[in-house]
Structure 1
Amino acid sequence: MTIKVAFFDCDGTLTKARNSWEYLHRKLNIWDKQAERYQALFREGKISYYEFCKNDALLWKGLPVSSVASLLKGITYHSGAYEVVKALKKRGILTVILSTGLSLLVERVREDLGIDMSFSNELLSESGHLTGEIKINVGFNKKGYLVKKILGDIGVSRKEACAVGDGDGDTSMFEEVVLAIGFHPQDHVSSVIHRAICGRSLLEMVEIIDEYERHTSSVV
């Protein structure tokens, strides 16, 4: 079976920053006293994901979009990010980012790496400044829904799709593809991934896909 679509997490997978929200809060020196509390409340189940994101976005109200984008440019890529996307696209594999992170970062990543499609959460702005509102396009544990929708829209089966990610927010995405790859995965996702990349480079993903395709072709 040939892989036709590759889904990527962004934060912590393509990029070195594991959480672009937290990264921005720390750069603005508002993580420890304010934003960290919202994340804790969400993790404890005391507020919804929407409330968590809404409260976070309000902390950035009034900031110039250009300043925020400039801060996010400090986020760099993992080794092999450019190369793996280039290799996959050379094979005709559709590449898609599914991220609960910020669109100001994800859109830059998509353009830099030449990825075909991206879905992320959008900070709303007016006259060049953040309004403190956010449009949630990728909810927590909703990546799986997007995988199913995208595959259905383009007529590709889950047996022809792979995904790479690192954390619990990727679990539903992993469950909807035939080949789930963890990149330095957190312990609690080990049960839902098929392979793990523990080396330095994302380019190992190509070898994993090659091995999968050889195995499935020999079985047939």
Structure 2
Amino acid sequence: MRGTSPKGIAAFDMDGTLVRLESSWQLIHEAMGTLGKARENMERYRRGEISYDEWAELDVACWIGKNFSPALRALSMVKPVDDLKEALEMLREEGLLVGVVSSGLDLVLKRVETLFEFDFAVTNELILDGSRVVGWKVNVPFNAKGEIVKRVASKFQVPLARVAVIGDAENDLEMFRIPVGLRVAFNPSSEALEREADVVVRSDSLLDVAQVVVEWFHALRT
């Protein structure tokens, strides 16, 4: 990165934004044969019968002690979006910190990190003992992305006006509703997110997102 301190931040969602995957949770449930139970848990959460943390505990409980190899094989097939490395390197060259804020799982993040080393990353974590799930750690509750982006900006002493957030789905709404400088909806699956966005990008290539962020960042300096 040029200069001695970060000039801005680009904070990305992961599932559906950086990788061709709607939900890492759903992919694992499909691979483990637990999708039916997962849907029951989600309905209970949506009806307000259980909290997010309780929902997550019930979801992970479906996998505790089981052979997780089918899920690991499925996760190994997850593909990044086109031009991911080139796009993120473009942003870094412009002086932006580049990172991830996702309620998805760290196992997917590790796939992306083979292509690009992020400046920060906050995801939920599965704890494995060999090929078995023994627990998990909540780092990103469902509606907490906005507060996490604020904490990241504060940590690096970057004003929110110089932060860009990029996402695709309803669980990205909270980081679109804080006073950041730019909100980019990338191939959005949520009409609500699209309405909150400053820019909507529909493309197969992440380079088109990077170009929008670079143009916005240049405008800040003029």
TM superposition score normalised by structure 1:
0.89
Q: Which of 23, 30, 34 is the equivalent residue of 1:30? A: 34
The answer to whether the Cα contact below 8 Å between 1:69 and 1:105 also exists between their aligned partners in 2 is no
Structure-1 separation of matches of 2:94 and 2:69:
36
The answer to whether the Cα contact below 8 Å between 2:25 and 2:105 also exists between their aligned partners in 1 is yes
Q: 1:167 aligns to what?
A: 169
Structure-2 separation of matches of 1:14 and 1:164:
10
Q: 2:115 aligns to what?
A: 112
The answer to whether the Cα contact below 8 Å between 1:21 and 1:101 also exists between their aligned partners in 2 is yes
Q: Which of 204, 208, 211 is the equivalent residue of 1:204? A: 208
> Partner letter of residue 150 of structure 2?
K
- Determine helix, strand or coil for the equivalent of 1:75: coil
Q: 1:157 aligns to what?
A: 159
The answer to whether the Cα contact below 8 Å between 2:32 and 2:71 also exists between their aligned partners in 1 is no
Long gaps (5+) in structure 1: none
Tell me the alpha carbon deviations over residues 186-213 of structure 1, each in whole angstroms, 9 at most, x when there is no partner: 1111222100111221111222123323
> Partner letter of residue 215 of structure 2?
E
- Determine helix, strand or coil for the equivalent of 1:112: coil
Q: 1:18 aligns to what?
A: 22
> Deviation at 1:45?
2.3
Q: 1:135 aligns to what?
A: 137
> Partner letter of residue 158 of structure 1?
L
Q: Which of 57, 61, 73 is the equivalent residue of 1:58? A: 61
> Partner letter of residue 141 of structure 2?
G
> Partner letter of residue 206 of structure 2?
L
Number of residue equivalences:
215
Tell me the alpha carbon deviations over residues 66-100 of structure 1, each in whole angstroms, 9 at most, x when there is no partner: 65433211111122222211211222311111111
The answer to whether the Cα contact below 8 Å between 2:100 and 2:120 also exists between their aligned partners in 1 is yes
> Deviation at 1:149?
0.8
Tell me the alpha carbon deviations over residues 128-170 of structure 1, each in whole angstroms, 9 at most, x when there is no partner: 5211x32100111101111111111111001111010011111
Change (3 A) 1:167 1:3: farther
> Partner letter of residue 204 of structure 1?
D
CA RMSD of aligned residues (A): 1.9
The answer to whether the Cα contact below 8 Å between 1:100 and 1:138 also exists between their aligned partners in 2 is yes
Q: Which of 65, 75, 80 is the equivalent residue of 2:78? A: 75
Which one is further off, 104-113 or 50-59?
Answer: 104-113
TM superposition score normalised by structure 2:
0.88
- Determine helix, strand or coil for the equivalent of 1:141: coil
- Determine helix, strand or coil for the equivalent of 2:88: helix
> Partner letter of residue 57 of structure 2?
K
Long gaps (5+) in structure 2: 1-5
Q: 1:191 aligns to what?
A: 195
> Partner letter of residue 139 of structure 2?
N
